[in-house]
Amino acid sequence: MINEQVSKAFDQFLVQLHDTQRVLDLAREKTPEAIKSLSDVIIEALDCELSPREADLAADVLINLAKRLEVSIRAGLALRLSVYENVPLRLALHLANDVADVATPFLENSPALSDTDIYYIIQGQESTHWRAIARREKLAPEIINLLVGKKDIATSGALILNTKLSFSDGTISALKDFVAENTDLIKDFASREDVPESAMLELYWKVNEAERKVIVDIAGIDVEQVDKQMQDTAVDFTNVLFGSLEITEEMQSVAKRMQDKGALTTQKMLKALQNGQIGLFYSMFAAYSSVPIEAINNIFMEDKGKALAIVSRALDIDRSAFISFFVHAKKLRHEDKIDHDNLNQAMRYFNSLKAETAKSLLPSVVKQFSFGPRAEA
């Protein structure tokens, strides 16, 4: 009996919608009252408990109707339907994939869309739709990561501003890297409560002075502590064996940050050598000189030190530092006595070499020692 009553009510709804002239007359009025009346006709039917067949039929009728309505009318209808969970799926997908003015309120709010629906909408649409999805109160971690992976400034900006969402460590790391390249987002990113200080410190070293000030002001980072941590990190690779040629990404990252900050000096490089941290020293020297890391060991292990002399002269490294680098690096790598004949030849060549000549020779040295036979590790 109940099913018969539902079907009768739904049949009456279909009759109303098939009276398209009446519906379209409402739409042409373009007044809030007319839009409400039009929405009421549709919502009245959606309140019925429809069978799957009836839901499909309703979707067909409503989609055909929506295609005949102007954008402003469809947008008003989408806004009202966005709060209803029992919108037929085909109608929900039609509204969600409509033009941005129509789709935006529906994508932002509709509970009728599943994670799978949202996934395919993201893959099939562009930035305006992604941005609307990013403003939803609830999103699965996989959907958040999919949006971040689009590398779209407006979408990532909407995600960052959406304080209803919680981000995983992986999401924060990906956003941090994106924000480092799109620094207009720094202020909003730094304002999020779920971004840890460690992420802000990493971001701090990737941006310029003005942007660092924004991070310090908003995230409350202690600049003096940051500088101390940088100095400590440069000599804190205790897990690396003395004299071991182990070059890690962390070493190269530390060296690059020191160079970017203007804190990398020959004295600090020598200290790494004296501590037996040859891998860290090579990373520092590569960052300081812009010589590829692949060439560094070959340059330092050349017997007579000509290549190292050319690089040092080109970089205006003084004689004392050049000799210290030559001697300490060979001791760490060979663990035997220095050949004094080779040392004397290296010193004589260094003394005779002009800075201008060294700079002209540097590109060929880098090329030769990057691709030539590598020294014994």
Q: pLDDT per residue over 111-138, tens digit each?
A: 999 999 999 999 999 999 999 999 999 9
- Give the Cα separation of 166 and 159 in Å (integer): 10
Interval 278-312: pLDDT, tens: 888 899 999 999 999 989 989 988 888 999 999 99
User: Are residue 109 and residue 13 in the same domain, yes or no?
Assistant: yes
Evaluate whether residue 29 is within a structural domain.
Answer: yes
Specify the length of the chain in residues.
Answer: 377
If asked whether residues 156 and 122 sit together in one domain, one would say no
Residue with tokens 């530390």: 254
Whether residue 141 lies inside any domain: the answer is no
Are 97 and 11 in the same domain? yes
**Lowest-confidence segment of 16-25, 124-133, 177-186 by average pLDDT:** 16-25
Residue 276 is predicted with a pLDDT of 78
Q: Is the pLDDT of residue 326 over 70?
A: yes
Helix or strand run (H / E) with residue 323: helix 319-334
Report the distance separating Cα 139 and Cα 6, nearest Å: 34
pLDDT-derived band at 48, boundaries 50, 70, 90: low
- Same domain for 104 and 160? no
pTM, full prediction = 0.59
**Rounded Cα–Cα distance for residues 16 and 323 (Å):** 94
Task: Look at residue 58 in the predicted model and tell me its pLDDT.
Answer: 72
Q: Distance between CA atoms of 99 and 107, rounded to whole angstroms? A: 11
Q: Do residues 297 and 365 share a domain? A: yes
Which of 195, 221, 247 terminates a domain? The answer is 221
Neighbours of 212 (CB within 10 A): 19
Residue 226 lies in a domain: no
Distance from chain centroid for Cα 91: 34
Domain coverage including residue 279: 237-371
Q: Is position 139 within any domain?
A: no
Same domain, 199 and 245: no
Retrieve residue 253's tokens. 């990252």
Residue 194 CA to residue 216 CA, distance in Å, equals 16
- Whole-angstrom distance, CA of residue 122 vs CA of residue 271: 52
Burial of 167 (0-12, 13-18, 19+ CB in 10 A): buried
The reply to whether 253 and 201 lie within a common domain is no
Q: Are 305 and 349 in contact (CB under 8 A)?
A: yes
List the one residue out of 112, 107, 172, 93 whose CA is nearest residue 135.
Answer: 107
Provide mean pLDDT across the span 261-265: 81
- Can you tell me which residue has the tokens 């290549």? 307
Same domain, 37 and 74: yes
- Both 33 and 60 in one domain: the answer is yes
Does residue 140 lie in a domain region? no
Rounded Cα distance between 360 and 114, Å, is: 63
Looking at the chain, the whole-number percentage of residues with pLDDT higher than 70 is: 77
Q: Where is the domain boundary, 161, 194, 221?
A: 221
Is the pLDDT at 96 greater than 90, yes or no?
A: yes
User: Bigger pLDDT: 366 or 62?
Assistant: 366
Same domain, 244 and 316: yes
Predicted pLDDT at 201:
81
DSSP secondary structure string, 182-199?
SGGGHHHHHH-TTS-HHH
Tell me what the mean pLDDT of segment 208-233 comes to: 72
What pLDDT was estimated at residue 23?
Answer: 58
Residue 234 has pLDDT above 60, yes or no: no
Name the more confident of 73 and 287.
287
The total number of structural domains that make up the chain:
3
The 8-class DSSP code of residue 48 comes to: S
Range 42-51 average pLDDT:
67
Token output for 199: 């992420």
Answer whether 38's CB lies under 8 Å from 73's CB.
Answer: yes
Cβ–Cβ < 8 Å for 81, 42: yes
Same domain, 258 and 338: yes
**Which among 9, 83, 16, 89 has a CA at the least distance from the CA of 49?**
9
Residue located via tokens 């509709």: 110
Which two tokens mark 103?
């789709």
Question: To the nearest whole number, what is the mean pLDDT of the chain?
Answer: 82
Together in a domain, 119 and 215: no
For position 239, what pLDDT does the model report?
A: 43
